[in-house]
């Protein structure tokens, strides 16, 4: 298996990602955007999600394409990141056209990082400005680890972070993943090897290999509600919103394989799945199968890359893997 | 981690399991039953499910408890297994009471084994009788591998089968899993090691250990629609139907970890989650977390045990792992 040239979700042509963060708040926001609206579905599997504009992503609802997606820290306060993006896109004339009005469609999901050692004593919610700044920063390259929505992320025993990865399919399609990893569980059973190791391409997250022995104890967790892993998988394959939803469901397997435990009652784990609709399918049935599998493996790798890329900062409560 | 005394779902006190099969048809049915109705939820994650009475399992619907569950081969024809069980339970006076009528509630799920080399040239649908016979056979011990709903199961490159496992939690609760493994994907990346190996307790599925190296190729699959893995996880912990649903969702992680790829558009993968309501929770939040994790690991182990226990039969199209 081969990664795209950047090994980022932006290997899917046309997609751009921007980060913005406040290191004192120890939090931030990440935006995915494109020059044109893109098809989007979502599957929520965690027990404690925080979301905006996800109901309209159901395949039976009218709106099929969105203008941008946000991943944000800040728990429910972080939903304002989408507001900042929507207001900024409005000034650019972007959005769903209704009469002479444009309404930018910006679904978003948040993670809980309010107890991570940052200064949460703000009087004005900072997430609207973070969303807008992340949109301004959007580019085809971006930083992994302790940036954007990954800034304040933690796992049970170490820091989480923002991860991304991509893979090229034999069909000629590209699949990418973007994730803010903030799980109740952990990405490593032993502090050395990563659960995602069977999916590693090259040494993209350290090349530490597969753990040689099964863990014998119950895994580490944090029960503080300081949780939630939120992700986007994307492809240039031409998919309907219904198939995007199915790809989002399949991609959750990558979360299950990279984080243990995953999808708990205290995680708001969800996956958005995006299609830029650029490249036709060769075979609707088998392409959807492989795109789903690629999305799952990409997401597992992106999770490990996010944890691997995390860097220390003042006031951290947990160490970094590296 | 420690298994229950039988390492079967029937380690959850009060549950019984029965198998019935027709070796010429290469198919069969498996029934889970108890002397009292039990709480049940479900989560469907596959793209091609075949089900009966699953809508009533939504937590907002009126019926909270069911009388039995069936797992069956036979694609949609196999839904008749539940009919056979329901008619038999009616004669025992079991069921949801409405006036002087008893309506047994018997949700069921099917897998596709119509192209597995068996003789499918029946004129009368055999699954109603198989369901009834499986109910008659229900006991606290039962056979794994090529029995019941596992009789005709296959993976991409070998036979599947009926699996089960159990685990004892530090909280004193027991969790068990029962599964008919018939995946489009495979349970082993290399024909030797099993994906579920990190979760193996003792040598319950051969003790072959964890694969030393990551696979480099795309995985084997079968695209014949000859697919679907259907499971039940169960506990004596006192759970509402809503929490059972959450446990069912968490348990799907075990399928993702034991089968690659999993949850594809051509798999009808689903998990029922059952509570006998026998033992109170100690802590609602943390118990639900650990029960979900235990259900996921138990289901991964049960999948591997089902594949490991499969045995050859006349007319098989695929070999067995062992």
In the prediction, which pLDDT does B317 show?
92
CATH of A9-309, one of 3.60.70.12, 3.40.50.2300, 3.30.930.10, 3.40.50.720: 3.60.70.12
- pLDDT, tens digit only, all 322 positions of chain B: 899 999 999 999 999 999 999 999 999 999 999 999 999 999 999 999 999 999 999 999 999 999 999 999 999 999 999 999 999 999 999 999 999 999 999 999 999 999 999 999 999 999 999 999 999 999 999 999 999 999 999 999 999 999 999 999 999 999 999 999 999 999 999 999 999 999 999 999 999 999 998 888 888 887 666 789 999 999 999 999 999 999 999 999 999 999 999 999 999 999 999 999 999 999 888 899 999 999 999 999 999 999 999 999 999 999 999 8
Nearest to B265 among A256, A265, A289 (CB): A289
Q: Say if the Cβ atoms of B289 and A215 lie within 8 Å.
A: no
pLDDT in tens, A273-305: 999 999 999 988 889 999 999 999 999 999 999
Cis status, amide bond into A14, omega within 30 of 0: no
Q: Say if the Cβ atoms of B250 and A264 lie within 8 Å.
A: yes
In the prediction, which pLDDT does B154 show?
96
Nearest to B261 among A215, A266, A292 (CB): A292
In the prediction, which pLDDT does A18 show?
98
pTM for the predicted model, two decimal places: 0.96
Residue B208 tokens read as 């072959």
User: Contact A102/A93 with Cβ under 8 angstroms?
Assistant: yes
Closest among B37, B34, B84, B9 to B234, alpha carbons compared: B9
| Residue of chain B whose alpha carbon sits nearest to that of A223 | B286
Closest among A78, A86, A99, A90 to A25, alpha carbons compared: A78
DSSP-derived secondary structure for A228-286: --EEEEEEEE---HHHHHHHHHHHHHHHHHHSBS-S-TT---EEEEEEEEEE--S-HHH
**Chain A residues touching B200 at Cβ < 8 A:** 214
CB atoms within 10 A of CB A253: 30
Question: So where are chain A's domains?
Answer: 9-309
- Under the banding of pLDDT at 50, 70 and 90, the label for residue A225 is low
**Chain B residues touching A221 at Cβ < 8 A:** 289
Closest among A253, A233, A316 to A41, alpha carbons compared: A233
Q: Please tell me whether residue A110 adopts helix, strand or coil conformation.
A: strand
CB under 8 Å to A217, separation ≥6 — which residues? B1
pLDDT in tens, A113-138: 999 999 999 999 999 999 999 999 99
Q: Say if the Cβ atoms of A256 and B289 lie within 8 Å.
A: no
In the prediction, which pLDDT does B224 show?
65
Residue A120 tokens read as 């949460």
pLDDT in tens, A3-61: 999 999 999 999 999 999 999 999 999 999 999 999 999 999 999 999 999 999 999 99
Q: Say if the Cβ atoms of A257 and B261 lie within 8 Å.
A: no
In the prediction, which pLDDT does A286 show?
87
**Chain B residues touching A224 at Cβ < 8 A:** none
Q: What is the DSSP pairing of strand A108-110 with strand B27-44?
A: unpaired
CB under 8 Å to A121, separation ≥6 — which residues? none
Mutating which of A48, A173, A262 best tests the B interface, going by the most B Cβ atoms within 10 A? A262
In the prediction, which pLDDT does B12 show?
98
CA distance A41 to chain B (A): 15
Residue A2 tokens read as 């081969």
pLDDT in tens, B275-287: 999 999 998 888 9
Q: How far apart are CA B197 and CA B191, in angstroms?
A: 13
- Under the banding of pLDDT at 50, 70 and 90, the label for residue A79 is very high
In the prediction, which pLDDT does A224 show?
65
pLDDT in tens, A158-177: 999 999 999 999 999 999 99
Q: What is the DSSP pairing of strand A108-110 with strand B15-22?
A: unpaired
Mean local confidence (pLDDT), A139-145:
98
**Chain A residues touching B300 at Cβ < 8 A:** none
Q: How far apart are CA B150 and CA B143, in angstroms?
A: 10
pLDDT in tens, B213-255: 888 888 888 766 678 999 999 999 999 999 999 999 999 999 9
ipTM of the complex in this document: 0.93
**What is the dihedral angle through the alpha carbons of A180, A186, A191, A195, rounded to the nearest 10 degrees?**
-80
CA distance A317 to chain B (A): 22
**Chain B residues touching A45 at Cβ < 8 A:** 249, 252
Q: How far apart are CA B11 and CA B291, in angstroms?
A: 15
In the prediction, which pLDDT does A213 show?
87
Q: How far apart are CA B320 and CA B273, in angstroms?
A: 29
Nearest to A210 among B199, B214, B264 (CB): B214
CA distance B265 to chain A (A): 6
Q: Say if the Cβ atoms of A214 and B200 lie within 8 Å.
A: yes
CA distance A121 to chain B (A): 28
**Chain A residues touching B273 at Cβ < 8 A:** none
């Amino acid at each position: 298996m081969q990664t795209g040239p950047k090994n980022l979700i932006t290997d899917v042509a046309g997609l751009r990602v921007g980060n913005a963060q406040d290191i004192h708040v120890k939090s931030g926001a990440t935006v995915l955007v494109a020059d044109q609206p893109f098809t989007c579905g979502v599957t929520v599997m965690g027990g404690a999600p925080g979301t905006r504009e996800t109901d309209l992503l159901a395949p039976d609802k009218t709106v099929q394409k969105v203008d941008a997606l946000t991943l944000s820290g800040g728990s429910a306060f972080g939903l304002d990141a989408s507001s900042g993006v929507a207001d900024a896109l409005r000034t650019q004339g972007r959005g769903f056209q209704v009469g002479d009005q444009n309404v930018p469609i910006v679904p978003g999901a948040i993670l809980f990082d309010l107890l991570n050692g940052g200064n949460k004593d703000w009087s004005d919610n900072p997430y609207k400005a973070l969303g807008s700044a992340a949109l301004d920063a959007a580019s085809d390259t971006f930083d992994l680890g302790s940036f954007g929505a990954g800034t304040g992320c933690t796992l049970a025993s170490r820091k989480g972070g923002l991860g991304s990865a991509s893979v090229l399919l034999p069909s000629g399609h590209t699949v990418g993943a973007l994730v803010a990893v903030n799980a109740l569980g952990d990405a490593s059973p032993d502090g050395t090897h990563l659960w995602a190791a069977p999916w590693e391409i090259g040494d993209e997250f350290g090349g530490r290999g597969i753990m040689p022995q099964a863990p014998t104890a119950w895994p580490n967790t944090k029960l503080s509600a300081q949780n939630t892993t939120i992700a986007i998988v994307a492809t240039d394959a031409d998919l309907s919103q219904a198939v995007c939803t199915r790809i989002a469901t399949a991609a959750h397997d990558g979360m299950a394989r990279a984080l243990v435990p995953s999808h708990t009652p205290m995680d708001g784990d969800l996956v958005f799945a995006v299609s830029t609709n650029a490249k036709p399918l060769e075979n609707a049935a088998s392409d959807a199968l492989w795109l789903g599998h690629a999305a799952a493996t990409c997401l597992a790798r992106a999770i490990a890359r996010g944890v691997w890329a995390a860097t220390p900062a003042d006031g951290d409560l947990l160490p970094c893997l590296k």
